[in-house]
Amino acid sequence: MAKSDNKGRRPSKNFKGGDRKKPFDKKFSSKPKQSAPRKPSNPDVIRLNRYIANAGICSRREADTFIAAGNVTVNGKTITEMGFKVKRSDDVRFDGKRLNLEKKEYILLNKPKNFITTTSDEKGRRTVMELISSASNNRLLPVGRLDRNTTGLLLFTNDGDLTKKLTHPKHNVRKIYHVHLDNNLSLADLHKIEAGLELEDGPITVDSVSYIQGAPKREVGVEIHSGRNRIVRRIFEHLGYNVTKLDRVIFAGLTKKDLPRGHWRHLTEQEVINLKNIK
C-alpha cells in the first residue's frame, strides 16, 4: 500500500497550531480569593446546648437530647430546635427550674496537714483556699470539711445542689479513711467498732472496719458515711487510742490516684456525672 503524501497540502482552516499557548484563564488563577472578614461574635448570645452545659446540668451532647425531648423552655416557650441561640439575659429553664449561667466547676484537692477547712480565718491560720487559689476565678466552697491535721481528699465546687447531696446523711456518701494509731488495735476493739459505739453525742456505726493488709495492726481502714465532727478520731479515742495520722483516701467514689499531696485537679465530665447520679 502506497504511503500518503502530504506535500503541497495546506493546513486546515481550523488548525490552531499545537505549540501556540492558550490565553490565561482567570478561573484557574492561583491567587487565593480574599474571604469576607468574619463578624465578631456576640458574647451575649450563646447556643442553647452550651448554656445548659455551662449551667452544670449535663454535657452539650446530652443537652441536645433533652432539647429535642422538649425539656427546655426559653422565655416560657418550649424549644426543640437544634442550634437555637439564646441571650444571657433570657429565662432558660430545664424541667421548669431556671438555670444559672455561671459555669459549674469541680476541684479535687489532696489536702496536706496544717490547713484548716474554711474560707477565711480570724487567727491568720492557713486555709485550704490558698491551695486552690489558682484553680478558678469563681467562688468555690469546700464540700464538708477535714480538720487541720487530717489529710486527703477534699472537693470544692460552686454547685450548691451537689454540695447539699454530698453532705446530707440520707445519701450515704462513701468515705474511706486510712487510720494510724499509737497502739495496735485489738481484735476485741475492732469488733466493738463493727457492732457500733455510744458516743457523747449519740450512737455511731461504721460501714466497715478492717486491718490494713500487710501493715501493722495499728493501721486500720474505716468506711463511714457519717459527717459528724471529728467522728473517726472520736471513735478510737472512745476506746483509748490516739490517732497519729488520718488520711481520707476515697470520697464519693473519687480517689487520690495520680494526685500528689497538696495538689488539685478538675474532675472529669464522667466523674461529675457519677456524683450527680448518687441516689
Grid coordinates given for 88: 444571657
Is residue 209 a contact partner of residue 222, using CB atoms and an 8 Å limit? yes
Residue 48 in 3-state DSSP?
Answer: helix
Instruction: Tell me how far apart the alpha carbons of residues 266 and 269 are, in angstroms, rounded to a whole number.
Output: 9
**Taking the CB of residue 125, how many other CB atoms lie within 10 A of it?**
12
Instruction: Tell me how far apart the alpha carbons of residues 151 and 249 are, in angstroms, rounded to a whole number.
Output: 9
**Taking the CB of residue 183, how many other CB atoms lie within 10 A of it?**
14
Is residue 212 a contact partner of residue 181, using CB atoms and an 8 Å limit? no
- Distance spanning both ends of the chain, measured CA to CA: 100
Does the annotation mark 161 as catalytic?
A: no
Is residue 265 a contact partner of residue 106, using CB atoms and an 8 Å limit? no
Instruction: Tell me how far apart the alpha carbons of residues 259 and 270 are, in angstroms, rounded to a whole number.
Output: 17
H or E stretch including 197? strand 197-199
Catalytic residue among 44, 121, 147, 182: 147
**CA-atom Rg of the chain in angstroms:** 34
Beta pairing, strands 264-266 & 219-224: unpaired
Q: Which residues are catalytic?
A: 147
